[in-house]
């Protein structure tokens, strides 16, 4: 066994002097709640989503929740979502009064399988929300066609997909409404935060009201709403990160190419033709592994100084919060086999080499 070294973290948020100065500027202004920084952040982020309307909120989960409310989800409406995702994907449907219906995934992309999703459509289906898992855009052309065929709304959970694109269309430019997250480990952060993105004027207006007690003008509440506002402190951090995320994404893509070329004995991330992956995660697959073998591999990779993790070890439908028994065979297979390894832009060449050497060593011994 190689000598234990300092762990290369699985993710490493990059916060520099510019972010600190931006926060300081807001604190010194004395205006900390939603204000001019939030407005500017929304305008600046909209450049990544084809100029669509952007509504900043306090988390990716709030973005999802409000996007369902603003799109008019009614109690009992069904929304088809993948089970192989973060719990917020399904939680937000429930919080908006709907029912998540869990679909299986494509074994190559790990994203919601359009054919399986179509088989789940019922008269109660209001929408489908694919997740661009790990930063690889789902089959949005197929989902767009389903939306038209059945007259249902297509949402995007783009929490992990800043700057990802398919056939030149960005994540956030496909669905009627899309949601991004700025959680610290995401490809860009605002500390905590989220963005609702839509091309629909009515949804834009409703989302702006819903985040602010149901009103656009102080004390003139038009509907019942929440306080899901982003603060100017968080927006100021996000505005700095907007200027850097393109270069960081390019570096993630370079790191991913290096890993693609040098890893052996594992299935490396699939890249669909016409797709630009944002590599929020670089997720390898140990084909045919049991979860015990995979978990031992994780322990060995960590012992070699390389941080890694499983996103996600339990499909959402089997979490205690849902506790459903469903037949999702691809999800059940993939959940045992995946490991996400470091791909973040601050990896040094030596660290990237260490990732390759350690992973290849561990996989050879399986």
Ligand X SMILES: Cc1ncc(COP(=O)(O)O)c(C=O)c1O
Name the residues that contact ligand X, by CB under 6 A: 59-61, 85-86, 88-89, 131, 157, 159-160, 181, 183, 194
Q: CB 57 → ligand X: shortest distance, Å?
A: 9
> Kindly report the CA angle at 63 between 61 and 65, in degrees rounded to 5?
70
Residue 111 or 354: the one with the smaller Cβ distance to ligand X is 111
> Is residue 143 a contact partner of residue 154, using CB atoms and an 8 Å limit?
yes
Q: CB 324 → ligand X: shortest distance, Å?
A: 19
The dihedral formed by the CA atoms of 329, 117, 140 and 187, expressed in degrees to the nearest 10: -50
Residue 57 or 263: the one with the smaller Cβ distance to ligand X is 57
- Of the candidates 337, 327, 334, 329, which has an alpha carbon nearest to the alpha carbon of residue 291? 337
Tell me if residue 55 falls in helix, strand or coil. Answer: strand
Residue 110 or 248: the one with the smaller Cβ distance to ligand X is 110
Alpha helix positions (H), 96-230: 114-119, 140-150, 201-210
**Distances, alpha carbon 231 to alpha carbons 30, 33, 105, 163, 181, in Å:** 12, 5, 36, 23, 15
Residue 248 or 300: the one with the smaller Cβ distance to ligand X is 248
Q: CB 342 → ligand X: shortest distance, Å?
A: 17
Q: CB 177 → ligand X: shortest distance, Å?
A: 14
Residue 131 or 289: the one with the smaller Cβ distance to ligand X is 131
Name the closest residue to ligand X (Cβ): 60
Q: CB 185 → ligand X: shortest distance, Å?
A: 8
Polymer length in residues for the chain? 366
Residue 171 or 359: the one with the smaller Cβ distance to ligand X is 171
Q: CB 205 → ligand X: shortest distance, Å?
A: 23
Dihedral sign of CA atoms 140, 144, 145, 146 in order: positive
**214 alpha carbon, distance to own chain's centre:** 27
């Amino acid at each position: 066994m190689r000598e234990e070294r300092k762990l290369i973290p699985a993710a490493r948020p990059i916060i520099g002097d510019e972010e600190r100065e931006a926060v300081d500027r807001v604190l010194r202004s004395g205006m900390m709640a939603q204000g001019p920084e939030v407005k500017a952040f929304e305008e600046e982020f909209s450049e990544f989503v084809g100029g669509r309307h952007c509504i900043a909120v306090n988390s990716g989960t709030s973005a999802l929740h409000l996007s369902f409310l603003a799109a008019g989800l009614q109690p009992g409406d069904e929304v088809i979502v993948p089970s192989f995702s973060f719990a917020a994907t399904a939680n937000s449907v429930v919080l908006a009064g709907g029912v998540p219906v869990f679909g299986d995934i494509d074994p190559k992309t790990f994203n919601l399988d359009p054919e399986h999703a179509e088989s789940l459509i019922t008269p109660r289906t209001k929408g489908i929300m694919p997740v661009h898992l790990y930063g690889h855009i789902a089959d949005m052309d197929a989902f767009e066609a389903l939306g038209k065929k059945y007259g249902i709304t297509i949402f995007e959970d783009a929490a992990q997909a800043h700057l990802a694109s398919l056939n030149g269309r960005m994540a956030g430019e496909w669905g009627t409404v899309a949601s991004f997250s700025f959680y610290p480990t995401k490809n860009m952060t605002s500390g905590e935060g989220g963005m609702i993105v839509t091309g629909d004027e009515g949804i834009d207006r409703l989302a702006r009201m819903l985040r602010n007690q149901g009103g656009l003008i102080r004390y003139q509440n038009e509907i019942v709403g929440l306080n899901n506002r982003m603060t100017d402190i968080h927006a100021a951090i996000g505005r700095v990160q907007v200027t850097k995320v393109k270069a960081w994404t390019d570096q993630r893509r370079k790191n991913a190419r290096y890993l693609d070329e040098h890893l052996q004995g594992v299935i490396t991330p699939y890249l669909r033709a016409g797709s630009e992956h944002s590599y929020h995660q670089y997720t390898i697959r140990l084909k045919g592994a049991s979860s015990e073998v995979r978990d031992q591999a994780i322990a060995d990779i960590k012992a070699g100084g390389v941080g890694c993790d499983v996103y996600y070890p339990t499909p959402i439908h089997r979490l205690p919060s849902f506790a459903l028994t469903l037949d999702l065979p691809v999800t059940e297979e993939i959940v045992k086999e995946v490991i996400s390894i470091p791909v973040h832009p601050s990896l040094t060449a030596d660290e990237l080499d260490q990732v390759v050497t350690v992973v290849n060593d561990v996989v050879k011994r399986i």
